[in-house]
Amino acid sequence: MTTATHAAPPATAWPRLLAAATDACLDALLERADQDWSRRAHGLEWTCRETLDHLALGLTGYAGLLIARPADRYITLFASLDPRAPLPACLEGLRIAASLLGSTVRDTPSDVRAWHPWGHADAAGFAAMGITELLLHTYDITRALNPDPGPDPDPAPGPAAPPWAPDTGLSAAALTRLFPDAPAAPPGHGPFDVLLWCTGRTALPGLPRRTAWQWDGRVR
């Protein structure tokens, strides 16, 4: 298996990449704010609304880990969205959580390391985790809110496009930082397809869908 060879972003680029991922994901989710968020998110046990809450908790938690820097445990602060709030207000909460992580990443010295069960990481690593969470769970939610329409009687050549896909550079940055053994994208596929494969969400030509996975947050 040939591995991907994307260039690693410089440390100063990660807050900008996280902000770009936040904007792209929130735009996609806001477009679907009037749909039924009680549906189960694609491939998950959570509803779309519960998945959004998981996202806010995760982004805030990553900021907290960088601030508290525990050696062997998660932090004790859990930030959840108001379950009674309308969806646009919940998305505002998600932007707040992402902004907190972005500011923390920007202000954290490069030699700082913090605990994570999938590898002690630096600020860039936690930014990449935040980007990965945003991209994957926006995909999970949009897949649920925009189900596949069924077989196309006149399909276009090449792989079917997902209902939502981020900018190529965001997926490539996440792969480079967290998935050092990610395969190169097959012809007709891009970094987001590879990210979906790495996280057990799809198959690739010659590569069956993964049944178990995790990223590697360690500094290399």
For 117-157, the pLDDT digits (tens) are: 999 999 999 999 999 999 999 999 999 997 544 444 444 44
Distance CA 59, CA 76 (A): 14
Written as one letter, the residue type at 178 is L
Domain topology for 11-145+160-198: Four Helix Bundle (Hemerythrin (Met), subunit A) (1.20.120)
Widest distance between CA atoms in the chain:
56
C-alpha to C-alpha distances, 114 to 69, 119, 127, 201, nearest whole angstrom: 5, 9, 12, 28
At 156 the pLDDT is 44
DSSP assignments along 22-87, one per residue: HHHHHHHHHTTTTS-TTSBPTTSSSBHHHHHHHHHHHHHHHHHHHHH--SSS--S------TTS-H
At 147 the pLDDT is 53
Written as one letter, the residue type at 44 is L
Which of these, 154, 142, 157, lies nearest to 42 by C-alpha position? 142
Tell me the whole-structure pTM to 2 decimals: 0.90
Whether 44 has a pLDDT exceeding 80, the answer reads: yes
Distance CA 28, CA 111 (A): 35
Q: So where are the chain's domains?
A: 11-145+160-198
